[in-house]
Structure 1
Amino acid sequence: MNDTLVTVVGNVATSVEYRETPTGGVARFRFAATARRWDRERSVWTDGPTSFYTVSAWRQLAANLAASVAVGEPLVVHGRLRVREEAPGDGQGQRRTFVDIDALAVGHDLARGTSAFRRGGKRGPEQAMTEGPDGVPMRTPELVGT
């Protein structure tokens, strides 16, 4: 296996879009990662450039993402890196490069906050409870294209 595996720390940039497919559910969202460095001269943290990725997840991971993740939340995403180039639709202009991550594991970044884990069942996000067993409200995902 020659896949390039990456682990990226950043924030959710768009809502998670969830769809059912013949092979199971798929979730997609945009993810932003900004490098930070300590500026010794000014004694402050400085933001570097922001990299954006399209993250895709399949089956149970997709359903769990759709039920658990919202825009702005800090995540750690681990998965296969995919780089692709596309020409513009009109045949004019320069080719564009896109960087995608096929997620294998995703979790909240606990260095920046707390999280409460609830073991999920074998159900899709459309069947997710609006209230967890401990009385804590759970997010209800948005279904796209249904």
Structure 2
Amino acid sequence: MAGEIIITVIGNLTAAPDYYAGTPEKSAFIAFTVAQNTRVFRNGEWRDGNTVFMRCTAFGELAANMAATLDRGDRVIVYGRMQQREYTDREDVRRTSTEVIADEIGPSLRYATAAIGEAANAAASAPEKQRTPDKTTGTSARKRTRSPKSEPALAEAGAKAPF
């Protein structure tokens, strides 16, 4: 639509997304926060820049699919519309909130792999994530791995990757 601010946010989920199952009167939705920070290589070392925390919301089947797929710490790409709203807090102070209404959400494949499958009934499986623990490390089988090949110049220099 004309006049909307379209935004793409790439970052890590700060917590497990909050999924709210729908009712006949209301559609299901999910609320989550994506953290994105800049890293700068100066004087032979990586330094953290400012971190931006972007609150996001998705609705319907997109919300159910995200709840069944993504979790805290996962690197995601969120494409949507920026929305600003005003509200009054508990102390009667007017405040403004900015958030992204997500149209598309997906895992970033920079440091991870993903298996694509059709969501048969994501709403039914949304509250329970289908993950199998890795017997060697005790972590999720979806654990992200980073290869020195992905950052060849850094690996040769012995520097740490920026994320």
Q: Which structure has more RCO (C-alpha within 8 Å, separation ≥ 6)?
A: 1
Take 1:111 and 1:51, find their aligned partners in 2: how far apart are those partners?
20
Root mean square deviation of aligned Cα: 2.4
Q: Does 1:112 align with 2:111?
A: yes
TM-score of the aligned structures, taking structure 1 as reference length: 0.76
Task: Assess if the C-alpha contact under 8 Å between 2:13 and 2:34 holds in 1.
Answer: yes
**Counterpart of 2:123?**
125
Counterpart selection for 2:35 from 32, 37, 40: 32
Q: Which digits, 9 at most, give the CA deviation of each residue in 1:47-76, with x for residues without a partner?
A: 211111221111111110010010011001
Task: Point out the structure with the larger helix share.
Answer: 2
**Counterpart of 2:89?**
88
Take 1:57 and 1:131, find their aligned partners in 2: how far apart are those partners?
18
Take 2:34 and 2:8, find their aligned partners in 1: how far apart are those partners?
12
Q: How much identity, in percent, do the aligned residues show?
A: 28
Question: Which residue identity is paired with 2:57?
Answer: S
Task: Assess if the C-alpha contact under 8 Å between 2:10 and 2:34 holds in 1.
Answer: no
Task: Point out the structure with the larger strand share.
Answer: 1
Q: Does 1:73 align with 2:74?
A: yes
Do the aligned partners of residues 97 and 49 (structure 1) sit closer, same or farther apart at CA in structure 2, a change above 3 Å counting? farther
**Counterpart of 1:144?**
none
Task: Assess if the C-alpha contact under 8 Å between 2:69 and 2:129 holds in 1.
Answer: no
C-alpha deviation, 1:23, in angstroms: 4.4
Take 2:129 and 2:103, find their aligned partners in 1: how far apart are those partners?
27
Query: Which structure has the larger Rg over C-alpha atoms?
Result: 2
Aligned residue pairs, count = 129
